[in-house]
Structure 1
Amino acid sequence: MNSKSTSRRHFLQHSLLGAAAVLTAPTLLSHTSAAFEQSTQPKQDRLKLGIAGYSFVHFKLDESLAMMKRMDVRYLCIKDFHLPFASSDAEIAAFHKKLADANVKGYAVGPIYTKTTQDIDKAFDYAKRVGVDLIVGIPEIKDLPYVSQKCKETNIRYAIHNHGPEDKIYPNATVIWNQIKNLDKHVGMCFDMGHNMRDGQDPLKDLLRYKDRIFDLHLKNVTSATAEGKTCELGRGVIDIPAFVKGLLKIKYTGSCSLEFEKDMKDPLAGLAESVGYFRGVLSAV
């Protein structure tokens, strides 16, 4: 067996232990060594693990938060099906209370698709009322100067999401970079590493190349580096996750690493939990 296979087996063993841990009832964890927890927890906290709200498109907020609590994942990118754009101040406050009760922080909103400058105004107003400083969005190319202007006015960052070869506007990180490199520094990208790979790009090289403008990350793996590639559990795809994690640590990435799991969206918990365990296993080992 070569060293790469040995390494992948090592990380998979960590992931299986982690997945089991996040799905085990607290009473069964009472005998876990305190020394083990103390030795691994700081390393696991070096990167902020979150969930992209779209992973929970088939679930109400309470159900989604219950899954996050079971996995001990504490950051959520907020989607409008959980908090509608027209929500009142009271509804927004109640939403944040639910998150706080589950030990979860809503750190951004989106992805939000916009077609006009009026749509962009609504997105920025929504982010301001929700109380976040990051919008994940998909604007029209013609509206990018307006997005840049709004970022300057509001001090809210805007992260453009790439969606792979099917996306004729923003298929990969390089296309986004070429559109934003001369715009306000508050305009960046939500780097979907899986879609980037599906478009024939190198996620690690692009992470290092565009690090200063990567504000958010959709953490995922895919079954192949082709348009036909599908989202899969983090440790089972073609992206070298340990190398990618090392890259995140190298650039001192401070944003969230939000899992977006699209393999089985009507029953995502097992796949998400496995991915959470794998990610934490990698962090504990590198």
Structure 2
Amino acid sequence: MKKLRNAFLLAGLVMALFAKTTLAQSRADALGWKLGAQAWTFNHFTLAEALDKMDSCGIMYVEAFPGQTIGGGIEGKFDYTMPPSQQEKVKALFKKKHKVLVAFGVVVPGSEAEWRTLFDFANRMGIQVITSEPQEEYLDLISSLCDQYQIKLAIHDHPKPSKYWNPDVVLAAVKNRSKLMGACADIGHWVRSGLDPVECIKKLDGRVMSLHFKDLNNKTPDSHDVVWGNGVCQISKVLETLKAQKFKGLFSAEYEYNWDNSVPEVKASAAYWRTMVSNL
């Protein structure tokens, strides 16, 4: 009898968890939000291993980065210079792992030919967002390529003194250019630069293409990641602001701490995100 009661309790807990997850997914879908992970979170591992770790966190969407060893029986590293045959193998790997490649970066081509190759690669791979810190001389070219391929270019904000650390610089770069150009809002790097992430999001209204999502233990340049909701990045206010702006797109979890065993923290962060989204 006791075993039967325990079995019913366990079944009830499983059903409650499933219902909660389903509600969060339904709400995220309604908002047009996708929770993914930047593979850099798992850069101590191959891409194939990173996809498995994302699976353990309940994360489907992926932002790849250049130079990660592919693994999974595929030779070489992930990059936009991969030959078509290798691209097809990588696409098959994502399908096998039940993951969706949505974004790629941070990547900074150094010539017109390289930019064209990058956009062609993104188009072939089904990538919707290219994350970059582009040189100013290529901004007009990028604008035309965004419109041609209908692929977004998200300008990333590494902390100061990097060029794009402040959203004002990003806004100047995309002014009078394609509406598919905007910011990859790395809210943690803004905090490291002494900026308020909520105010930065407000300033970028309509020009947030994607996010590198994180929470930090303090507001200093050498701060480190913590489980979302336990730090200083004002996660709940950022989400509320994005909702108010009718943002639609990718949240890439980027956890740059406890590199070899970050799955528990990333999983807890994803759970927190879903809880917050369910209540929006």
Scaled by the length of structure 2, the TM-score of the pair is 0.83
Matched residue, 1:244: 238
Equivalent position of 2:264 in the other structure: 270
Deviation at 1:73, TM superposition (A): 0.4
Q: Work out the CA distance in 2 between the residues paired with 1:211 and 1:173.
A: 11
- 1:170 deviates by 0.8
> What SS does structure 2 have at the residue aligned with 1:123?
helix
| Equivalent residues in 2 for 1:35-46, closer than 5 Å | 35=16, 37-45=18-26, 46=28
SS at match of 1:246: helix
Query: What SS does structure 1 have at the residue aligned with 2:82?
Result: coil
Deviations 1:234-282 (A, max 9, x none): 2221112122222222223210111011112233212212211222232
Instruction: State whether structure 2 residue 59 is matched by structure 1 residue 73.
Output: yes
1:161 aligns with 2:156: yes
What is the percent sequence identity of the aligned residues? Answer: 26
What residue in structure 1 maps to residue 49 of structure 2? 63
CA distance in 2, matches of 1:174, 1:197: 15
1:232/1:36 CA distance change after superposition, 3 Å: closer
Which residue of the partner structure matches residue 14 of structure 1? none
Match of 2:138 among 136, 143, 147: 143
Q: Are the equivalent residues in 1 in contact too, given 2:152–2:180 (CA < 8 A)?
A: yes
Matches within 5 A, 1:120-131: 120-131=115-126
What is the one-letter code of the residue matched to 1:72?
G
**Structure 2 CA distance, aligned partners of 1:264 and 1:142?**
38
What secondary structure is seen at the aligned counterpart in 2 of 1:62? Answer: helix
The structure whose RCO (Cα within 8 Å, separation 6+) is larger is 1
Structure 2 unaligned regions, length at least 5: 1-8, 71-77
Unaligned ranges ≥5, structure 1: 1-27
Aligned length: 258
How do 1:86-235 and structure 2 match up within 5 A? Answer: 86-167=81-162, 169-235=163-229
- Deviation track 1:1-60 (CA, whole Å, cap 9, x = no partner) reads xxxxxxxxxxxxxxxxxxxxxxxxxxx975534255325522344131100121121111
| 2:233 alignment partner AA | I
Indicate how the Cα distance of structure 1 residues 272 and 40 shifts in structure 2: closer, same or farther if over 3 A, else same. Answer: closer
Give, in whole Å, the separation in 2 of the partners of 1:105 and 1:29: 32
Counterpart among 265, 275, 279 of residue 281 in structure 1:
275
Q: Contact 1:114 / 1:138 at 8 angstroms: preserved in 2?
A: no
Normalising to structure 1: TM-score of the pair?
Answer: 0.82
Q: Deviations over 1:42-97 (max 9, x none)?
A: 23441311001211211112211111111110100122324232323332222222
Whether the 8 Å contact between 1:232 and 1:262 is mirrored in structure 2 is: no
Structure 1 Cα separation of the partners of residues 265 and 24 of structure 2: 23
Structure 1 distance, partners of 2:191, 2:128, is 28
Residues in 1 aligned to 2:141 and 2:156: alpha-carbon distance in whole angstroms = 17
Q: Cα RMSD over matched residues?
A: 2.2
In the aligned structure 1, how far is the partner of 2:122 from the partner of 2:256?
A: 25
Question: For 2:10 and 2:120, how far apart are their aligned partners in 1?
Answer: 44
8 Å CA contact 2:191, 2:219 repeated in 1: yes
